[in-house]
Amino acid sequence: MVRAKNLVGLPVITSDASTIGKVDGTELDVDSWMVTHIRVDLTDDSARFLSLKKPFMGGIRIGLPVSNVLKVGDVVSLNVTLSQIRESPESKTD
């Protein structure tokens, strides 16, 4: 079992070996008490690829469904490519 606080700061890597950012936290469905998404602070390159405009101050954070997570170790490995994230309606922006 991995605690949510241990995820924060881990690099997130897609299945096509792109480092898209770092874990910022998780999202929880309080009705089921299940983690539904991991929140990722995107790199500037990833944000541009996803056609997301960076605000003047701060960065861009997205929520990726936990079904996109392949495994967790020293990094969070995803089972999707960056292109698949761009096309996914389940990926949420803040």
Domain range for 28: 4-93
Mean pLDDT (whole number) for 11-16: 98
Q: 37, 91 in Cβ contact below 8 A?
A: no
* Count of domains forming the chain: 1
Give the pTM: 0.89
Task: Tell me the per-residue pLDDT of 27-56, one tens digit each, with 9 for 90 and over.
Answer: 999 999 999 999 999 999 999 999 888 777
CATH code of 73's domain:
2.30.30.240
Lowest mean pLDDT among 32-36, 51-55, 65-69, 71-75: 51-55
pLDDT band at 92 (very low <50, low <70, confident <90, very high): low
CA 63-83-53 angle, to 5 degrees, is 60
Strand 11-13 relative to strand 92-93, pairing = unpaired
